[in-house]
Amino acid sequence: MEVLPDRPGLYRAQVTFPKAGQWALEVIMKSLATGPPPSGKAELEGRVVFPVDDSSSTPAIGANAPATDTPTATTADGIHAISTDTNPDPDFYKTSVKQALADHKPFLLIFATPAFCRTATCGPALDVVKSVAAPFKDRVTFIHVEPYDLKLDNGSLQPVLTNGNLTPTATTNAWGLSSEPWVFTVDSKGIVRGSFGLIFSDAELTTALDSIK
């Protein structure tokens, strides 16, 4: 893994929790630098406590995909009014989830907001999806959806706030999202076959796209 100076990193591990409840994570990071770290310590530690639920709020693998009527656009101005991606792929906005389900065509759905992402990973996640999309476009529909309510203000999209917080869209709520970004792959029968939250690799997405028909 390449470590870039002054850039945050994300790490992932596959963990099985034997039961629901409150769990804790302890992370110990050892400095690989040849000189002393800025903190004067060879190791840095961090701890966090988090809940684990009996089941995910998002659609499970094998579940029916919610038939949500997501925004579409076919012009640059139209896309600008529904997406905060600064370099959008027009093909990602031509078809709604509802229409893709009606057409019985496999699709990939990504919830991401490059401009207002709370996890700072939405832009990179969307870029990964765009980078692997080309070989699959003849048989898979790609759909990008902003997870929060937005409005045009002086020509730029701004979030609609509720009590000072970002407001999830009806589509976000229907898919049970509590964070962003999320990616789902859905087959021609409308069944969810893949689900990726926060971070994923291009190889994982390619495998998921290869498997849906």
User: Tell me, what's the pLDDT at 120?
Assistant: 81
- Give the end-to-end CA distance of the chain in Å, rounded to a whole number: 33
Show me where the domains of the chain are located: 76-211
Closest by CA to 56, choosing from 170, 197, 191, 208, is 197
Contact 143, 175 (CB under 8 A): no
CB 102 within 8 A of CB 68: no
Output the pLDDT for position 3: 43
Chain position carrying tokens 């992402």: 117
Q: What is the pLDDT of residue 15?
A: 75
Q: Which helix (H) or strand (E) holds 181?
A: none
Check: pTM over 0.85? Answer yes or no.
no
Which class is 76-211 in CATH? alpha beta
pLDDT at 4: 43
- Residue ranges for the chain with pLDDT beneath 70: 1-13, 31-42, 50, 53, 55
Each residue of 51-95: pLDDT tens digit?
Answer: 776 767 788 999 999 999 999 999 999 999 999 999 999 999 999
CA angle 180, 181, 183 (to 5 degrees): 130
How far apart, in whole angstroms, are the C-alpha atoms of residue 161 and residue 15?
A: 35
Please give the structure tokens belonging to residue 149: 């309510």
Q: What is the DSSP letter of 64?
A: B
Tokens describing residue 167: 């407001």
Q: CB of 198 within 8 A of CB of 179?
A: yes
pLDDT tens, 149-160?
999 998 899 999
